[in-house]
Amino acid sequence: MFITFAFVTLLGALGMLLQKNVIVAGLCMVATFFGVAGLFLLLANPVAAALQIIVYSGAIMVLVLFVIMMLNSHEEEAAQTARPVQRWVSVALVAALAFGAVKLVLTSAGLKALAVSGEPMPGAMTLQKVGTTLFAEHLLGFEVAGILLLAAMVGAVALTKRNL
Amino acid sequence: MGVIVKKVELTWLDRTYVWPVLQGMSITFGHFIRNLFTPTAKRYTVQYPDMKREIPAGYRGLHELKRFEDGAIKCVACFMCQEACPARCISIEAEEFSDLNLSQGFQEKRPAKFSIDMLRCIYCGMCEEACPKDAIWLRKEYEVAAYDRLSMQFGKWNLMNTYAEADGKEQLTQDPTPSVPRRTIAM
Amino acid sequence: MDKLASLLHTTPAIVWMVGKVVVVFLSVFLLASVWTWVERRGSAMIQDRIGPNRALLFGRWPILGLSQLLADGIKFFFKEDLVPEAANKGLFWLAPFLAFVPALMGFAVIPVGKSFICDGVTYHLSVLDPGNGMGLLYPLAIGGLAVYGVLLAAWSSNNKWSILGGMRASATMVSYEIGISMAVVAVFMVSGGYDPAEVIKAQGHLPWTWYVARQPLGFLVFFTCMFAETNRLPFDFAEGESEIVAGFNTEYGSMKFSLLALAEYSHLMTASALVATLYFGGWQVPFMADPPVLLSVASFLVKMLFFAWVFVWVRWTLPRFRYDQLMHLGWKILLPLSMANLVFHAWRMSQGH
């Protein structure tokens, strides 16, 4: 299962990067979101999976595709061919980053705890648990995020609608 | 001069939009229930091949060439209908015949061929209007269809027999009197 | 069941699961196709017409025109399958499936009847057992995906009218989904759980304790939004025949078109099942605390089909909205209403404690 979802995620991401067609790239991104939602499910967090699909695939990508269709840019201009130096530098950078990420995961405390102790997995996440966590432990962060979003929304309206 | 359009004042109940929607739905539901308990035969729809509409008097359907009691054609081949026809679908060939008798009003001319191209006919009824002898009628038959163009060319005998079955008359296939070759009359 | 399982070399649990999936999805599929007939006959009755009644089964039995379904199905199969020259071929093929699968999948969490215990094993009458953690978030998530089918069908057919239809559909979907979520959150809050089984249990068996009586405003908002979500008539902006030819499915023909049409009807079925579950007590039988299993299934079916019929009924009553009216209704009326509903119930709960 993990392998399947991981492949869906990675293939989606790769497809999104390599695809010339913007709409198809967007679809690949949806596939990636699906893969990630599947991974969330495997991590016993169905709430995050559902929210991932509702918010990202259901709303954000639809809006993005909407905007793409509205601007009607079906074909992108051909990008300038990269010089070999750039290519090598980027490959080296990506390799370094990937190496660092994998090493970080392998040496993390969580993995060791998982390998050593045979204690039972924590129960599946539910909406109730998410709620209590948000409003009890992370209340300040939640409120700050809410204020930030509100400010962003007001700003967006103020920017686009000149004569209020 | 402008027309003053009276604006409908909406009450607060209408403004909620919910109440008018319910009213509309009750109307449609009334229709639904009424139709549900009406047998299909009694609804407005005329289910065509099974049920047929009452054809009103004066309807202009398929033509009939009228005949006398003895089966002789009433048409005297005067070509009035052919002239009157706006669609030019009638073509007539005349011939003479000898046996003059009273019932036929002492005619001596009749069509040898009388054909109507039903594909071109527009059922305007001009031929009926033009006919001095009331020999062509447009009657109530309206199901005129065929599989090929040729069978839509109605000839003299087709046209004389179009309503024979409906009226309970016999099918005609020949004139009661033979034709005679054209005589030249010395003036 | 044990015998069947041993015959197939599997466990009873798997046989039960597969059986559930096949039965539920097949019946939703069949109901959706039957509903095309209900739509046509119902609209005919409403408009004083007769509707399809001439197709005969085996050339003999008219059975109220139901065999029209078979005739249409056969016709669709044998029609030429056209793909426009400038269309994006892959997406053009993919789109009907993307429209159809989410519409059907949303049904998975909805319990069609009371759970029962047989030989010490509890059998749940929903494809996904309760306690799966997704609960009613799942149909919302899947329902939101249905717009991709419309959007892709619109875009891939490379037709201006189609794109207009697809864009209007996606804008509608995004606007109305918020109203739906707010209304549903109020239900979750009052019932104290978001699993359909919990929601149904919290509603009890008395009709005046169902959420339609306790949250009439929420029901109104949710039901209205469902019309937009399923692209049904007062809000069917994806296919405004009088404005944009036939909308997103202009270029579609043959089996792909019928799949798009079936997707709409499956979506309608899922939506009415959701309404029945959330606001009308799901499988609860009125005035019967512990109904037999079959009766509960029948009760659920009656409720679901009633709402499916209401969808048809409303379609033939109301004319289509204008696009700005739709946006006005969605953002300025339904969203504040559902928020007010949420706040009101939150306030009542806080008073109760």
Domain membership of residue A80 (yes or no) is: no
**Residue among B28, B40, B47 minimizing CB distance to C317:** B28
Q: Which residues of B touch C50 (CB under 8 A)?
A: 40, 43, 45, 47
CB contact under 8 Å between C163 and A62, yes or no, is: no
- For chain B, which chains pass the contact test of at least 3 CB pairs under 8 Å? C
Tell me the average pLDDT across C113-125: 77
pLDDT exceeds cutoff 80 at C2: no
**Residue among A30, A54, A125 minimizing CB distance to C133:** A125
What's the ipTM?
Answer: 0.73
Q: Which residues of C touch A54 (CB under 8 A)?
A: 137, 140-141, 144, 177, 181
Domain positions in chain C? 84-114+127-350
Q: Check whether residue A71 and residue A95 sit in a common domain.
A: no
Domain membership of residue A121 (yes or no) is: no
Residue B37: closest CA among chain C residues belongs to which residue?
A: C45
Question: What was the pLDDT predicted at B83?
Answer: 92
Percent with pLDDT over 90 in chain C:
1
CB contact under 8 Å between B32 and C48, yes or no, is: no
Question: What was the pLDDT predicted at A147?
Answer: 94
Maximum average pLDDT range among A75-84, C39-48, C141-150, C151-160? C39-48
Q: Check whether residue A11 and residue A71 sit in a common domain.
A: yes
Read off the DSSP letter of residue B73: B
Residue C311: closest CA among chain B residues belongs to which residue?
A: B25
CB contact under 8 Å between B40 and C53, yes or no, is: yes
pLDDT tens across the length of chain A (164 residues): 778 888 888 888 888 888 777 778 888 888 888 888 888 888 777 888 888 888 888 778 888 888 877 776 555 555 556 567 777 888 889 899 998 988 887 777 666 665 555 555 556 677 778 888 888 888 888 899 999 999 999 998 888 877 66
How many structural domains comprise chain A? 3
When the pLDDT of each residue in chain C is averaged and rounded to a whole number, the result is 82
Per-residue confidence at C57, pLDDT binned at 50, 70, 90?
Answer: confident
Residue that the structure tokens 């997707």 belong to = C263
Q: Check whether residue A20 and residue A48 sit in a common domain.
A: yes
Question: What was the pLDDT predicted at B121?
Answer: 92
For C169-213, write each residue's pLDDT tens digit. Answer: 888 888 888 888 888 888 888 888 788 888 888 888 887 888 888
CB C125, CB C148: distance < 8 Å:
no
Residue B27: closest CA among chain C residues belongs to which residue?
A: C317
CB contact under 8 Å between C134 and A46, yes or no, is: yes
Burial class (CB in 10 A: 0-12, 13-18, 19+), B183: exposed
> Which residues make beta-bridge pairs with B179?
B97
**CA of B45 vs chain C CAs: smallest distance (Å):** 6
Q: Check whether residue A104 and residue A140 sit in a common domain.
A: no
Tell me the average pLDDT across C288-317: 87
CB contact under 8 Å between C174 and A66, yes or no, is: yes
Q: Which residues of B touch C53 (CB under 8 A)?
A: 40
pLDDT exceeds cutoff 90 at B86: yes
For B12-38, write each residue's pLDDT tens digit. Answer: 888 778 888 888 889 988 988 888 888
Percent with pLDDT over 70 in chain C:
98
Look up the domain containing A92 and give its range: 86-115
In this complex, is the C-beta atom of C140 within 8 Å of any C-beta atom belonging to chain A?
Answer: yes
Residue B49: closest CA among chain C residues belongs to which residue?
A: C54
Question: Which of C:254-273 have CB within 8 Å of A?
Answer: none
Tell me the average pLDDT across C50-58: 79
Q: Check whether residue A102 and residue A46 sit in a common domain.
A: no
Q: Number of B:C CB contacts under 8 A? A: 40
Q: Check whether residue A90 and residue A109 sit in a common domain.
A: yes
Question: What was the pLDDT predicted at C79?
Answer: 84
- Residues of C at the B interface, defined by Cβ within 8 angstroms: 42, 44-50, 53, 220, 313-314, 316-318
Q: Check whether residue A39 and residue A65 sit in a common domain.
A: yes
In this complex, is the C-beta atom of C146 within 8 Å of any C-beta atom belonging to chain A?
Answer: no
Q: Check whether residue A107 and residue A70 sit in a common domain.
A: no
Percent with pLDDT over 90 in chain B:
24
Question: What was the pLDDT predicted at C77?
Answer: 85
- For chain A, which chains pass the contact test of at least 3 CB pairs under 8 Å? C
Question: What was the pLDDT predicted at C255?
Answer: 82
For C206-239, write each residue's pLDDT tens digit. Answer: 878 888 888 888 888 898 888 888 888 788 777 7
Rg (CA), chain B: 28
Question: What was the pLDDT predicted at C1?
Answer: 63
List Cα–Cα distances, B5 to B10, B12, C284, in angstroms.
Answer: 15, 22, 53
Domain membership of residue A81 (yes or no) is: no
Better-scored residue on pLDDT, A161 or C43: C43
Tell me the average pLDDT across C35-47: 88
When the pLDDT of each residue in chain B is averaged and rounded to a whole number, the result is 84
Better-scored residue on pLDDT, A22 or B138: B138
Q: Which residue type is seen at C306?
A: F
Name which of A45, A127, A129, A130 to mutate to probe chain C: the one with the most chain C Cβ atoms within 10 A of its Cβ: A127
Name which of C164, C170, C184, C237 to mutate to probe chain A: the one with the most chain A Cβ atoms within 10 A of its Cβ: C170
For A30-49, write each residue's pLDDT tens digit. Answer: 888 888 888 888 877 788 88
CB contact under 8 Å between A62 and C132, yes or no, is: no
**Residue among C46, C53, C220 minimizing CB distance to B28:** C46
pLDDT exceeds cutoff 90 at C140: no
pLDDT exceeds cutoff 90 at B91: yes
CB B81, CB B127: distance < 8 Å:
yes
The β-bridge relationship of strands B109-117 and B153-154 is antiparallel
**CA of B29 vs chain C CAs: smallest distance (Å):** 7
Q: Check whether residue A51 and residue A90 sit in a common domain.
A: no
Among A126-135, A150-159, C292-301, C327-336, the minimum mean pLDDT is found in A126-135
**CA of B59 vs chain C CAs: smallest distance (Å):** 26
Question: What was the pLDDT predicted at C118?
Answer: 76
CB contact under 8 Å between B47 and C220, yes or no, is: no
**CA of C51 vs chain B CAs: smallest distance (Å):** 10
Neighbours of C189 (CB within 10 A): 16
